[in-house]
Chains A and B, each alone.
Chain A
């Protein structure tokens, strides 16, 4: 692979840099391990979110997405994002504008006012797709230093996989296994659970305006995840992460009586590059797993201590000695 192919424009979006920055840290750190240079997309904005802003006005959604894509075109590299929503928007907008000439002309009339142009010269990727299709599961396995003894509930999320048409998964939606395979490359076991392919509930503007409906999706998934005996939930989207992480705190308050076992949900939620990074031998401080701040009301809202304790032998190799739970 040439130097040029190993550069990618890193599209941050909103939730990663502004709510779950440990995801930003861990993606940058883990991609460096695989010799990828992630370039800043200076001045990029909201993707804009495919569930809400596209629902409000498709034309605005398309024009703002085109502006973001044009920033990567100027850098001359493909885009990579760690957010399913950003992936959905940028992939679909890129597809529409590449194939629909009249749409592209209209969009470029708007972009002309800010001196930009959509040219259709790059691809839009998700980190999971880069790991699976470019780096490959075997190459990931080859780099693993510590096998993680965990039972993991994988939640790949919707927009990574659906609609299948223009996505690089060979038409697989309900039998999507790429994320499970990547999780298992760390030595962990990706467990089956009830409603595994179901939405986390956050998308489409539900989390912002219909929170109880959104959390009811999440609760149903959490029941299945708990029944399967998973140690953690592993995600590859910060919005799904927020929905499971902050969502468990909210569900434990709102659905107290509906919770089937009567026990509060407390399943740690970990982003894929944090999990992989640890298996690669990257210091947990550099992955945002062990923090040195006293800030309150920041993630993780559901404590990840049970996850850290499960991996205490691995962590001790980094000099991290945990107190008894």
Chain B
């Protein structure tokens, strides 16, 4: 993975960076961003590019599954029978006091997910919904609001 090349290409408007699997090799550890002598928010740019990729349905199957697990359960890593037993053996409640104990909370999370449009983004129809034209963006065209977020440090 060469982050410098990815960011250079993105700045030039080369949208092939979005389909390059290298974009997904970053562990988001922030070591490069913290050490960058020019204060380039490298990791935040990688995350922004990943957002753009996902909007074009360029998402790895394992990640798509993870996104759907979140919508289904409210957790990225949900409980199962084995771990319910482990919890009980430790003297804990069978389910944690999270969304796993509250159908109302799950409804709230799904309402928010639908309100933001994340269900459409990772739904089956993503490919048809997103036409290519409205997705051609490059990092230099982010709106000021988005830029603020990149620079929130």
Question: Which residues of A does B touch, CB under 8 Å?
Answer: 12, 14-15, 17-19, 21-22, 24-25, 40-46, 48-60, 63-64, 67, 92, 95-96, 99-100, 102-103, 110-111, 113-114, 116, 158-159, 162-166, 173-174, 197-199, 201-206, 208-210, 213-214, 217, 288, 291-293, 295, 297-298
Contact = CB atoms under 8 A, between A and B. Distances in A.
A55 B92 contact: no
Nearest to B118: A60
30 contacts: A15-B77, A18-B79, A18-B80, A24-B96, A45-B105, A53-B67, A55-B50, A56-B50, A57-B51, A58-B47, A58-B51, A58-B149, A59-B116, A60-B112, A60-B113, A60-B118, A60-B121, A92-B152, A113-B115, A116-B108, A162-B34, A166-B152, A174-B35, A201-B27, A204-B28, A205-B62, A206-B25, A206-B27, A208-B63, A217-B27
A158 B47 CA distance: 16
Contact of A46 (B63, B74, B87, B104): B74
B75 interface: yes
B98 A43 contact: yes
B122 A110 contact: no
By secondary structure, the A interface counts as loop
A55 B104 CA distance: 27
Given A18-B78, A43-B104, 8 more contacts: A21-B83, A56-B121, A110-B112, A158-B29, A163-B34, A174-B34, A204-B26, A295-B82
Most A CB contacts (10 A, CB to CB) among B47, B51, B86, B111 go to B86
Given A56-B54, A205-B24, A113 B90 contact: no
Contact of B33 (A14, A24, A54, A163): A163
Interface of B: 24-31, 33-35, 43, 47-48, 50-51, 54, 59-63, 66-67, 70, 74-80, 82-83, 85-87, 89-92, 96-102, 104-106, 108-109, 111-113, 115-116, 118, 121-122, 145, 148-149, 152-153
Contact of B97 (A40, A46, A203, A213): A40
A250 B51 CA distance: 30
Contacts of B118: 56-57, 60
Given A18-B83, A52-B63, A203 B28 contact: yes
Contacts of A95: 152
Contact of A49 (B24, B76, B78, B102): B76
Most B CB contacts (10 A, CB to CB) among A52, A55, A173, A209 go to A55
Contacts of B87: 17, 21
A15 B75 CA distance: 9
A56 B121 CA distance: 9
A293 B89 contact: yes
B96 A162 contact: no
Nearest to A51: B28
Given A50-B28, A95-B152, A18 B60 contact: no
Contacts of A14: 75-78
Contacts of A199: 27, 29, 31
Contacts of B83: 18-19, 21, 298
